[in-house]
């Protein structure tokens, strides 16, 4: 994410390389459960026309979603349990957090505009919101980073 080249691959880069080597496509991430305050996720992969679901820690799944630029999905009951409400604004549909499960009051968690931040700052924000398990904001930041990189 930070365009650093470590001497040896990081775990998520190793896993991506393995999937790529064996021609497995990561299609999407599904945050499929919230139990006792812990989010659960699955990697949805495609190989030779067959779908495979791989159980994953949510933080690892999100790290893979960033590397593959794939969509992240969840269910309404998880949003309800996490205290998230989705509303559409007039200019664009965007998730809005009514209250944070972690009680965070940072501008990042509240939905501050991302257009004024550098890619470096966005990358740092992404790490912060992933640490707070604010996955909807992480997806917004990931999408903003991807959009900018595509423009370059």
pTM score, two decimals?
0.53
- Specify the CATH number for 11-151; select among 3.10.690, 1.25.40, 2.60.40, 3.30.70: 3.10.690
- Give the start-to-end residue ranges of the domains of the chain: 11-151
Backbone angles phi, psi at 100, to 5 degrees: -90, 135
- Between CA 3 and CA 145 the distance in angstroms is 12
Give residue 106's pLDDT: 40
Q: What is the DSSP string of 74-142?
A: E-HHHHHHHT-EEEE-SS-EEEE-SS-TT----HHHHT--STTS-HHHHHHHHHHHHHTT-HHHHHHHH
The one-digit pLDDT tens for each residue of the chain (152 residues) are: 566 666 777 888 889 999 999 999 999 999 988 888 889 999 999 999 999 999 999 999 999 999 899 999 988 888 888 876 665 544 433 333 232 333 333 444 344 467 767 777 778 788 888 887 888 888 888 888 888 888 87
């Amino acid at each position: 994410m930070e365009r650093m080249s470590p001497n040896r691959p990081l775990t998520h880069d190793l896993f991506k390389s393995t999937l790529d080597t064996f021609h497995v496509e990561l299609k999407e991430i599904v945050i499929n459960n919230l139990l006792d305050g812990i989010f659960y996720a699955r990697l949805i992969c495609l190989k030779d026309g067959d779908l495979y679901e791989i159980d994953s820690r949510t933080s690892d799944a999100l790290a893979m979603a960033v590397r593959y630029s794939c969509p992240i999905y969840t269910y309404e009951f998880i949003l309800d349990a996490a205290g998230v409400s989705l509303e559409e604004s007039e200019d664009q549909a965007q998730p809005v957090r009514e209250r944070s499960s972690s009680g965070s009051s940072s501008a990042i968690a509240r939905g501050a505009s991302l257009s004024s931040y550098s890619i470096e700052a966005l990358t740092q924000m992404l790490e912060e919101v992933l640490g707070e398990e604010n996955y909807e904001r992480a997806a917004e930041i990931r999408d903003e980073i991807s959009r900018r990189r595509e423009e370059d």
